[in-house]
């Protein structure tokens, strides 16, 4: 396990007093490692968990060539014979079992969606395309349709076109979505091997923090961070260990850190990491662990602590509510996903046109709260929510994403395209 100093030495231009957002992400990617323990869970328990092993398909899906719709299966070579195809219906193929009849020249089989394609037939004409003629006294029903409507092979699903037996179906590190759980079920798998659930401990710090139920007092604020962090951690399907509010008291802080380190893979705190702050949190972090304190070139959320206490990874976040959420989304969430074993930790950024002019100096990354909407031409527009102060938590409620203005970026004019980190699924 590398020390923080060894990790820092690997980063070009590392300066803890003026660290870029990109350097923070690089540092955390080197610091955290996936938990090693694994669980075997049912598919009903698998949602949000991360695959610990590759899944190789034990069968082909679909297991046979089948019809993509209700219609009539026939030999596609007949399309080249004439402008109008006329066929006799030799029988009906139903889903769930193979049709046992045989097909002669100029014959077809009425077929239902999902039914196995009869031997020698490779094309399906949808039933709404055909003209039907009832059977006479001694003959079979007949159909006709224009040959120009189809090409050979149309409306046939090929064996294994979704998943082929023996081929990888899902890769280790995949976070299991509803679609992925359905895919596993399509393979006949009832259980799956995943990384164990991550344990995350949290506490707020400071004498000015009120727990819910306490009477208001001058200079004090209610602890909103505890509930936003709880929600953010729950969205990741991690186990949340709530250690409440810890006062500015060295024995209490030491006990809280030791309890957190004994129980959790990751420790998150809010407050007590600002430069020059007159409390005991920073001193206790230094006493108990290998911890670095950063000034990040970002807004909001400049101060942050990161490191280890025992084997637990520590994230010391600022105290302002919006700064807590922004630093969590930008840095802590990707790090926790890596610890969960995910190989898809970084959120994608979308492109949107800014409806507003935004003042911005190069030399820091800014995260503006934004509301993304779809324009008449189908592109995305984004507007800021107004007051962007780091204590204005209502702006996070109004927003559905963060406008991410890069380190070197300068002023944005109305109509310029900007990057947006969407909230969907994260908060």
CATH number of the domain that residue 178 is part of: 3.90.105.10
Q: Is residue 236 in a domain?
A: yes
pLDDT in tens, 8-34: 999 988 999 999 999 999 999 999 999
Judge if 317 and 260 occupy the same domain: yes
Arithmetic mean of pLDDT, 28-56: 97
Q: What is the pLDDT of residue 425?
A: 74
Arithmetic mean of pLDDT, 105-110: 95
pLDDT in tens, 51-101: 999 999 999 999 999 999 999 999 999 999 999 999 999 999 999 999 999
CATH number of the domain that residue 393 is part of: 2.40.340.10
Q: Is residue 184 in a domain?
A: yes
Judge if 151 and 166 occupy the same domain: no
Arithmetic mean of pLDDT, 150-157: 97
- Domain end point (choices 308, 339, 370): 339
Q: Is residue 42 in a domain?
A: no
Arithmetic mean of pLDDT, 91-119: 95
Judge if 182 and 263 occupy the same domain: no
Q: Is residue 345 in a domain?
A: no
Report residue 427's pLDDT band, with 50, 70 and 90 as the boundaries. low
Do the Cβ atoms of 329 and 427 come closer than 8 Å? yes
Q: What is the pLDDT of residue 176?
A: 97
Do the Cβ atoms of 289 and 336 come closer than 8 Å? no
Q: What is the pLDDT of residue 426?
A: 72
Nearest to 174 by CA among 55, 274, 290, 65: 55
Q: What is the pLDDT of residue 275?
A: 60
Q: What is the pLDDT of residue 272?
A: 85
Judge if 93 and 143 occupy the same domain: yes
Q: What are the tokens at 343?
A: 């190989």
Judge if 284 and 299 occupy the same domain: yes
- 3-state SS, residue 165: coil
Judge if 72 and 152 occupy the same domain: yes
Q: How far apart are CA 210 and CA 72, in angstroms?
A: 71
Q: Is residue 44 in a domain?
A: no
Q: How many domains does the chain have?
A: 4
Report residue 346's pLDDT band, with 50, 70 and 90 as the boundaries. confident
The reported pTM is 0.89
Judge if 93 and 129 occupy the same domain: yes
- In this predicted structure, the answer to whether residue 148 has a pLDDT above a threshold of 70 is yes
Report residue 277's pLDDT band, with 50, 70 and 90 as the boundaries. low
Residue span of the structural domain in which 78 resides: 66-157
Judge if 235 and 274 occupy the same domain: yes
pLDDT in tens, 282-341: 889 999 999 999 999 999 999 999 999 999 999 999 999 999 999 999 999 999 999 999
Do the Cβ atoms of 344 and 34 come closer than 8 Å? no
Do the Cβ atoms of 405 and 358 come closer than 8 Å? yes
Q: What is the pLDDT of residue 276?
A: 56
Separation of CA 84 from chain center = 50
Phi and psi dihedrals of 202, rounded to 5?
-140, 140
Return all residues near 20 (Cβ < 8 A) that are at least 6 apart. Answer: 296, 297, 365, 407
Report residue 350's pLDDT band, with 50, 70 and 90 as the boundaries. very high
Report residue 1's pLDDT band, with 50, 70 and 90 as the boundaries. confident
CATH number of the domain that residue 138 is part of: 2.170.190.11
Q: Is residue 296 in a domain?
A: yes
Do the Cβ atoms of 324 and 270 come closer than 8 Å? yes
Per DSSP, the residues of 364-403 read: SEEEEEEEEEE-TTS-EEEEE-S---TT-THHHHH-SEEE
Judge if 57 and 72 occupy the same domain: no
- In this predicted structure, the answer to whether residue 278 has a pLDDT above a threshold of 60 is no
Q: Is residue 297 in a domain?
A: yes
Report residue 155's pLDDT band, with 50, 70 and 90 as the boundaries. very high
pLDDT in tens, 201-222: 999 999 999 999 999 999 999 9
- Domain end point (choices 148, 169, 195): 195
Report residue 253's pLDDT band, with 50, 70 and 90 as the boundaries. very high
Strand partners, 242: 202
Q: What is the pLDDT of residue 86?
A: 95
- With pLDDT > 90 as the criterion, what percentage of the chain qualifies? 89
Q: What is the pLDDT of residue 209?
A: 92
Q: Is the peptide bond before 62 cis (omega within 30 degrees of 0)?
A: yes
Judge if 205 and 315 occupy the same domain: yes
Arithmetic mean of pLDDT, 110-127: 97
Judge if 327 and 207 occupy the same domain: yes
Judge if 363 and 273 occupy the same domain: no
Q: What is the pLDDT of residue 54?
A: 97
């Amino acid at each position: 396990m590398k020390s923080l100093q060894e990790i820092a030495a690997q980063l070009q231009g590392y300066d803890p007093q003026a660290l870029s957002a990109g350097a923070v992400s690089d540092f955390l990617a080197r610091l955290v490692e996936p938990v090693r323990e694994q669980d075997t869970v049912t598919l009903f328990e698998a949602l949000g968990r991360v695959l610990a092993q590759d899944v190789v398909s034990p069968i082909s899906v679909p297991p046979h060539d089948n019809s993509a719709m209700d219609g009539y299966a026939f030999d596609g070579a007949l399309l080249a014979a004439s402008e109008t195809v006329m066929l006799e219906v030799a029988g009906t193929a139903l889903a769930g079992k193979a049709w046992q009849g045989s097909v002669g020249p100029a014959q077809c089989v009425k077929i239902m969606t999902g039914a196995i394609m009869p031997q020698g037939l490779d094309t399906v004409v949808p039933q709404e395309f055909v003209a039907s003629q009832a059977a006479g006294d001694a003959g079979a029903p007949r159909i006709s349709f224009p040959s120009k409507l189809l090409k050979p092979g149309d409306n046939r699903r090929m064996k294994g076109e979704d998943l082929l037996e023996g081929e990888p179906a899902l890769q280790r590190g995949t976070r299991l979505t509803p679609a992925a759980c359905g895919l596993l079920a399509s393979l006949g798998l009832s259980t799956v091997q995943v990384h164990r659930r991550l344990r995350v401990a949290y506490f707020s710090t400071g004498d000015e923090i009120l727990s819910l139920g306490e009477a208001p007092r001058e200079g004090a604020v209610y602890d909103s961070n505890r509930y936003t962090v709880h929600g953010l951690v729950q969205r990741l399907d991690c186990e949340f260990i709530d250690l409440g509010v810890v006062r500015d008291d060295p024995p209490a802080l030491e006990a809280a850190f030791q309890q957190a380190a004994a129980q959790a893979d990751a420790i998150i705190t809010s407050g007590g990491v600002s430069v020059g702050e007159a409390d005991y949190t920073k001193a206790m972090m230094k006493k108990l662990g290998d911890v670095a304190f950063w000034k990040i070139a970002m807004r909001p959320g400049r101060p942050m602590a990161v490191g280890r206490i025992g084997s637990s990874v520590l994230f010391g976040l600022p105290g302002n509510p919006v700064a807590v959420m922004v630093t969590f989304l930008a840095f802590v969430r990707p790090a926790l996903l890596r610890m969960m074993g995910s190989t898809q930790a970084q959120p994608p950024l979308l492109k949107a046109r800014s409806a507003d002019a935004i003042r911005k100096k190069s030399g820091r990354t800014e995260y503006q709260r934004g509301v993304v909407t779809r324009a008449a031409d189908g592109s995305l527009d984004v507007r800021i929510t107004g007051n962007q102060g780091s204590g204005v938590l209502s702006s996070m409620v109004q927003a559905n994403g963060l406008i991410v203005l890069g380190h070197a970026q300068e002023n944005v004019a109305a109509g310029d395209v900007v990057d947006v980190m969407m909230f969907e699924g994260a908060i």
